[in-house]
Amino acid sequence: MNVLVLHAHPVETSFNAALHRMIVERLAAGGHAVDDCDLYAEDFDPRLTRAERIAYQDTARNIEPVRAYVERLRRAEALVLCFPVWNYGYPAILKGFFDRVFLPGVSFHLVNGKATPSLHNITKAAVITSYGGSRLRAMLMGDPPRKLAKRLLRSTIKPFAPVDYLAHYSMNLSTEASRDRFMDKVRRTMEAF
């Protein structure tokens, strides 16, 4: 299976970077073709420009500034996101990827003003993330990353495709043992992917 791995963390020595390396390694060992997209390493520009916004609904032109990323997304049969939750949301670089690449004509079609999802080439997805705060704190804030993954992402890819959401909460209080347990959970999920 062709798996697009989107990684969004700027520090190569972080726990998130260790998760990313293990995800890529386990998927490749399982025989998957891995397209490893490290947004920081690739210097992805998350800013939607004025020209891109003006051409946003022009499906003949809107992909031009990000054509290579659109092609990678269209080739993918599965999607794995690996990122930390910052300020109860995605890192800006990942949010910018969604803004600039999940375009009309790519992830959805506009039919009579209504968005119809169209990333049906993606038959499964997984989100691997970490939160500085607790699960309770995230829930009190509405846990936007989880909702976006479990609702919006799920509705954008192939209907009824599974979306795994693995989160290590309370990273600010984590221990080596808690990080090892989470790493093992992610490893098992990727080996069964």
Q: pLDDT tens for residues 40-62?
A: 999 999 999 999 999 999 988 99
149's tokens = 């993954």
Question: For residue 81, what are its two tokens?
Answer: 């996101």
Domains along the chain with CATH numbers: 2-191 (3.40.50.360)
Q: How many CB atoms lie within 10 A of CB 49?
A: 11
145-157 residue pLDDT tens: 999 999 989 999 9
Contact assessment for residue 20 and residue 82, using Cβ atoms and an 8 Å cutoff: yes
Q: What local confidence, expressed as pLDDT, does residue 113 receive? A: 81
Model pLDDT for residues 78-132, shown as the tens digit of each residue: 999 999 999 999 999 999 999 999 999 999 998 888 889 999 999 999 999 999 9
Average pLDDT, integer, range 3-7:
98
